[in-house]
Amino acid sequence: MVKNSAEKNKHGLSATSIVDSIKNLSKNSIPPVEKWNPPFCGNLDIRIARDGTWFYLGTPIGRPELVKLFSSILKKEGDLYFLVTPVEKVGITVEDAPFVAVDFNKRNQGGSDVLIFETQVGDKIVAGPLNPIWIRVNQETKEPSPYILVRRNLEALIDRKSFYRLADIGTHTEIENQNWFGVWSSNKFFPLILSHELE
């Protein structure tokens, strides 16, 4: 599976035991983790880097199907992230967002444009009222980073190349007497930056 995958935390859990707990779940649907409230079983040395790479014990997890499986049982409570099964909950570290939107397509559906994003684990998200796009500005560097809601309260960082492509298709729209530059999807406008800041 992954290097040293059998190494256990102080509660006797390892990445292998998590896989064993969820291996019989459907591979075609996202488990209802919001309905699961198992006991907390400590932390595992699993880290999701800002670029979307998953690490276990400091080593990248090289099997995409394993990363996809783990990503399907992610749960966020407050500012903390967990992998949750019906019988256990373990804490993991997320450097920024748990997902990265690595690409998007613009399509016309029902007479309106929609933006369909894809994450590093293959999730498809249609930007719209239920899956908004927003900008978060780093208070130290003042660098803007774009995000999209994937599901529940789990978000994806939109990667740089996709952000540049969004800028290429953006338009200006007035909101509350201010002009904003942003993008449309599913009949919803998502402001990215004040128009005058582009000058």
CATH number for the domain that contains residue 179: 2.30.270.10
Tell me if residue 148 falls in helix, strand or coil: strand
Total count of domains within the chain: 2
- How many angstroms separate the Cα of 95 from the Cα of each of 21, 59, 72, 99, 103? 26, 15, 18, 11, 20
Would you say how long the chain is, in residues? 199
- The verdict on 44 and 110 lying in the same domain is no
Among 48, 74, 94, residue at a domain's last position: 94
- The verdict on 107 and 69 lying in the same domain is no
For residue 8, is it within any domain?
A: no
Task: Identify the pLDDT of residue 142.
Answer: 82
- The pTM for the full model equals 0.86
pLDDT digits (tens, 9 = 90+) for 131-143: 999 999 888 888 8
Task: Identify the pLDDT of residue 162.
Answer: 97
For residue 3, is it within any domain?
A: no
- The verdict on 115 and 189 lying in the same domain is yes
Neighbours of 176 (CB within 10 A): 5
Among 51, 74, 94, residue at a domain's last position: 94
- The verdict on 147 and 65 lying in the same domain is no
For residue 5, is it within any domain?
A: no
Joined together, the tokens standing for residue 181 give 């530059």
For residue 158, is it within any domain?
A: yes
- How many angstroms separate the Cα of 168 from the Cα of each of 81, 133, 161, 163? 34, 16, 11, 9
- The verdict on 75 and 127 lying in the same domain is no
Among 94, 126, 149, residue at a domain's last position: 94
Report the candidate in 120, 119, 106 with the shortest Cα–Cα distance to residue 169.
106
Joined together, the tokens standing for residue 18 give 């998590």
- The verdict on 21 and 83 lying in the same domain is yes
pLDDT digits (tens, 9 = 90+) for 10-48: 556 667 777 776 766 656 578 889 999 999 999 999 999
